Amino acid sequence: MTSTRAKHLPALLWPIFLLGHWLAIGLLAWHLLAQVNFVYPTFYQWLGIESHIAEFAPQNRHRSHFHHTSPNDHYALFAGINQAIHSDPDQLARLAYIDNNGQHHLLLHDDEVLHLQDVARLVKGVYLLGLLAFGAAVLSGLLLWKLRFRFPSARRIAAGTLSAIALTVIGVWLLGPKRVFYMLHEWIFPPEHPWFFYYQDSLMTTLMKAPDLFGAIAIALLLVWLAFWGASLWIIVRLWLRRVGPIG
């Protein structure tokens, strides 16, 4: 490798490594929260979802008697949706609840199933992106490690990352969280597939008190993401110092 190439190599590899590391940690945070059903029972209490269901479930135009189900039923149904999205989308059409007369009712109607299948495909893409990012971070990191390039200032990395997050949060706040939520849906999902449901038309939306629950999950995801990112970055820097010396 010529000295000219070696000179420019860090400028190419460090962004790949740092971005790959950030995205891979994001996937880890998502996966860990998915294993505990995004702490739905906690948000259920905080967001008053039980009273929300009691108000809107009787108004549902497609399903009946859902307001007679219990919070434990709601926890189990949310867990079923979560597990189906992550592992078996075909299960979505079979999720059901039992009313106070012992009758079984399907939870989701066809448009809801279609939307959640779109979500399942999106989640699959997120996992693929995260795994690719992890591979890119490992490969670029190993090369940087082998060539003994000095690690960039961790303080600058943290300041830049937190500044980018702060600007994003401010931008979302100025535009309006609901507006951003709807815009993302319009960009991501096929235009011919329904994704907006009134509470009176969707037990899925009622069960999740959408979009309030998604905002709470986004905050939890960001906090877990930052915690694991900061801890892993600290470990990487310490290991780098032992091999290469002071950071750049």
**CB-CB contact of 88 with 57 (8 Å):** no
Q: Which of 18-32, 39-53, 162-176 has the lowest mean pLDDT?
A: 162-176
Asked whether residue 4 carries a pLDDT value surpassing 60, the answer given is no
pTM assigned to the model: 0.89
Per the model's pLDDT, the better-predicted residue between 154 and 72 turns out to be 72
| Closest-CA residue to 111 (of 208, 243, 201) | 201
Six token digits for residue 55: 């108000």
Distance (Å, whole) CA 19 – CA 17? 6
Q: Please report whether residue 2 resides in a domain.
A: no
Q: Please report whether residue 7 resides in a domain.
A: no
Q: Please report whether residue 4 resides in a domain.
A: no
Residue corresponding to tokens 């986004």: 218
Q: Please report whether residue 8 resides in a domain.
A: no
pLDDT class of 7 with cuts at 50, 70, 90? low
| Closest-CA residue to 66 (of 92, 96, 94, 99) | 99
Asked whether residue 93 carries a pLDDT value surpassing 50, the answer given is yes
Asked whether residue 235 carries a pLDDT value surpassing 50, the answer given is yes
Give pLDDT, residue 244: 72
Q: Please report whether residue 150 resides in a domain.
A: yes
Distance (Å, whole) CA 136 – CA 21? 8
Q: Please report whether residue 223 resides in a domain.
A: yes
Q: Please report whether residue 5 resides in a domain.
A: no
Amino acid at 224: V
Q: Please report whether residue 157 resides in a domain.
A: yes
pLDDT in tens, 202-233: 999 999 999 999 999 999 999 999 999 999 99
List phi, psi (to 5°) of 211: -95, 10
- Per the structure, the complete domain to which residue 17 belongs is given by 13-243
Mean of per-residue pLDDT scores for the chain: 92
Asked whether residue 109 carries a pLDDT value surpassing 60, the answer given is yes
Give pLDDT, residue 245: 61
pLDDT in tens, 67-83: 999 999 999 999 999 99
Identify any residues that bridge with 96 across adjacent strands, giving them in sequence order: 106
